[in-house]
Amino acid sequence: MKALAIFSILFLLAACCRGSDLPEDGPHLEVASISGNLEIDRPSVIAVELRNNATYNATYDAGESDTGSDALDVERSTANAGAVEAELSSQDDRIDVLSGPQVLGTFAPGMNRSIRFAALAKGAQKGVYPLQLSLRFSRLVQVSTTGDESVPDVAFSYEDERQELPIQVDVVQGPKIEIEEIKGNAALGKESELETVLANRGDETAVDLQIKIQPLPPFVEAQNSQERLRIDPGGTVSTKLRVNADENATPGYYPLPCSISYRNGENGDERSEDLALLIHVQNDSFLGWLTMPAAGLLLMVGGFWGGRTLLGQKKRKVRNFRRLLP
């Protein structure tokens, strides 16, 4: 039955288009939309939505001919873009396209498909840059038959087509996350709560931002909030951090490595950065608090007794000098 159905379709194709060219309306590929930006000095991905916007004329009336619906299928097939291959290129040396040609298959009329290209904007300034989307595909141009009309030999003729579509992409700085401030100090030998202030110095929003702490000595333990943060361009956000420093460590400033992950915008790709929080570790014990006041008191007492001793020596010298006078 399946073989019979295929033979029937081929027979109707031949009957409708025997030895003649098919309708001239062919595939019409166009860019429906572009999403994503190129970040300066960072590999980025842009998505191009490609659509076959072909139309076909209903030159056959399916209600008046038994072969009308199949003839319309023939006309649809001439609007197909087969074996579509897309390649992105740039004439600007500052834009380096990292992706090669991509094979997309067949585009029937009305079909949409997204293509993703990776590119690098190296040394470019912020702005709009032109790119070229080159398409190669084949289209059905003729159906011819030979031999007996009852059992014809059907031949399909295709032509290779090429289409150039200019597009534009924005080159941006992207999110630039920096540690603006660490509020609080870590105490030796006990858990301390700090506040980390992050800032976005870029021109794109950082979405779903999370911090993962990687404690190293003298920090024996570190925990941070697992909430997902959002930082708009020029904005800041605060998050809590708990650390536990070794009680035998020497007070001072120590780096606390961390990894920050986020997405570039609502539909952007996820990326991560390695940063370090500079934490001030101090002796927060009772004796530690007494160290500075005690040292100051000793200096005051020492200065007082030293002053009295020096003054007494001067007085004795004056008395001895007076005894020597006639």
Looking at the structure, do residues 77 and 159 belong to the same domain, yes or no?
Answer: yes
CA 132 – CA 117 distance, rounded (Å): 12
| 238 and 100 together in one domain | no
Nearest to 163 by CA among 200, 137, 195, 202: 137
Number of structural domains found in the chain: 2
Q: Residue 213 domain-assigned?
A: yes
41 with 133, same domain: the answer is yes
Per-residue confidence (pLDDT) for residue 290, from 0 to 100: 47
Examine the fold and report which residue of 117, 140, 172 is the final residue of a domain before the chain moves on.
Answer: 172
For residue 124, the 8-state DSSP code is P
10 shares a domain with 124: yes
Q: Nearest 5°: phi and psi at 70?
A: -70, -35
- Residue 49 and residue 95 in one domain: yes
Q: Are residues 83 and 198 in the same domain?
A: no
* Domain containing residue 275: CATH number: 2.60.40.10
Provide the token pair at 9.
């379709």
Q: What is the pLDDT of residue 300?
A: 54
Predicted pLDDT of residue 79:
85
- Predicted TM-score of the model (pTM): 0.63
Q: Does 314 reside within a domain?
A: no
169 φ, ψ (degrees, to nearest 5): -130, 150
- pLDDT at residue 184 in the model: 94
Instruction: Look at residue 286 and give its three-state secondary structure.
Output: helix
Say whether both 136 and 90 belong to one domain.
yes
Q: What is 100-119 written as a DSSP string?
A: --EEEEEE-TT-EEEEEEEE
Distance, CA of 138 to CA of 125 (rounded, Å): 39
How does DSSP assign 64-105, residue by residue? Answer: T-TTHHHHHHHHHHHT-EEEEEEEEE-SSTTEEE----EEEE
Q: Which of the residues in the chain have pLDDT under 50?
A: 1-23, 57-69, 71-72, 75, 286-292, 294-295, 297-299, 301, 305, 318, 321, 324-325
Q: Let me know whether 152 and 188 are in one domain.
A: no
User: Of the residues 117, 150, 172, which one is the last residue of a structural domain?
Assistant: 172
CA separation for the pair 44, 78 (Å, rounded):
37
Measured in degrees and rounded to the nearest 5, phi and psi for residue 26 equal -120, -165
Amino acid making up residue 194: L
Does residue 244 share a domain with residue 152?
no
pLDDT of residue 12: 45
Q: Is the dihedral of CA 74, 78, 83, 84 positive or negative?
A: negative
Structural domain includes residue 222: yes
- 52 and 127 in a single domain? The answer is yes
What pLDDT score does 314 carry? Answer: 53
pLDDT for the residue numbered 128: 95
| Containing structural domain, residue 127 | 2-172
Q: Is residue 124 domain-resident?
A: yes
Structure confidence at residue 127 (pLDDT): 94
In a domain, 321, yes or no: no
Same domain, 19 and 161: yes
Specify if 294 maps to a domain: no
Which of 172, 203, 229 is the C-terminal boundary of a domain?
Answer: 172
Question: Is there a single domain that holds both residue 182 and residue 157?
Answer: no
